[in-house]
Structure 1
Amino acid sequence: MAKWKKLAHVVYQCSYHIVWTPKYRYRILEGEIAKIVEEKIRAICEWKDVEILEVNVMKDHVHMVVSIPPRVSISELMGILKGKTAIALFKGKRKLKKKPYWGNHFWSRGYCVTTRGMDEEKIRRYVKYQEENERIEENNSKEYGLF
């Protein structure tokens, strides 16, 4: 079971599986390029207080499993990740910018994201029976003269 995290006014467990690809799904994420991408991803996640549970840079896509604080949206994180890594790649590997197919865009436009977390059926049961459980707890506390 994943750990719950705390901020000043929130307790959360926001874990996501995110996948994205280079433009045209070119198989270019290897060697020095893959190293730059992974280093930049780790630096950005540390800066945004995003915990990386898993990261894997494949030749034609990137997989990440992360825990994101509620103050950071998925779209904001992905915009920063894709933007900053592309800038780093174009600065560090000037030959990439000369290729006519990149056009100042390294990553494809979209990404895939799915949530990870507790069992859906367990959550449904909890929500369904929550009122009944609260009523029982309230009655028990009255019997013992707590309120």
Structure 2
Amino acid sequence: MYDEQSLSHTKWDCKYHVIWKPKYRKKSIFGALLKYLGEIFRELAKQKECTVIEGHLMPDHVHIVLSIPPKYSVAQRVGFITGKSAIQSGRNFQGRKKNFVGQNFWARGYCVFTVGKDEDAVRASIQHQEKEAKRIDPLN
């Protein structure tokens, strides 16, 4: 439940529930891109000393729980993950050899919540996203 980690003079357990979406909320996350993005998010988080604890990708948004050390800001880490994943998916799935110029895969904003004592509830909520979406919209 509490996974305390430590730095040289600090004990910490900082987890954040982050939600972001593709530009214009297009349903563009599916198929091979879906599996690819999951791996990329984990790899990019690891590069920046973060850990993906739980995550779920829907066709029109992403839910992820990140463990970020307190010496880093959430905005820096989420910006890095979204920016680099957009560049890599553009190169591998949209045939672009160079970086995006004036085109974005992810929307600018994101939503972030701290995860406290209700971590199990947040993780269960993320795991049941797809089932809930089908219940609300049966045409999905």
- TM-score, structure 2 length as denominator? 0.75
Letter of the 1:38 counterpart: G
**Percent identity of equivalent pairs:** 39
- In the alignment of these two chains, the number of paired residues is 115
* Corresponding residue of 1:106: 105
Alignment of 1:53-68 (within 5 A): 53-68=53-68
| Rounded Cα–Cα distance in structure 1 between residues aligned with 2:11 and 2:55 | 24
* Corresponding residue of 2:114: 115
* Corresponding residue of 1:75: 75
* Corresponding residue of 1:17: 17
Quote the RMSD (CA, aligned, Å): 2.0
Letter of the 1:107 counterpart: W
Q: Does 1:86 align with 2:57?
A: no
Q: Shift of the alpha carbon at 1:36?
A: 2.2
Whichever structure has more helix as a proportion of its residues is 1
Q: 2:16 is paired with a residue of what secondary structure?
A: strand
* Corresponding residue of 1:4: 4
Residues 41 and 52, structure 2, Cα contact 8 Å, conserved in 1: no
Letter of the 1:45 counterpart: A
Of structures 1 and 2, the larger Rg is shown by 1
Q: 1:9 is paired with a residue of what secondary structure?
A: coil
Change (3 A) 1:103 1:96: farther
Alignment of 1:9-48 (within 5 A): 9-48=9-48
Greater mean alpha carbon deviation, residues 83-92 or residues 33-42 = 33-42
Residues 14 and 70, structure 2, Cα contact 8 Å, conserved in 1: yes
- Structure 2 unaligned regions, length at least 5: 119-140
- Structure 1 unaligned regions, length at least 5: 120-147
Letter of the 1:61 counterpart: H
Change (3 A) 1:71 1:16: same
- Partner deviation per Cα, 1:81-132 (whole Å, 9 max, x = no partner): 11101100111122589xxxx942000010000001137xxxxxxxxxxxxx
Q: 1:19 is paired with a residue of what secondary structure?
A: strand
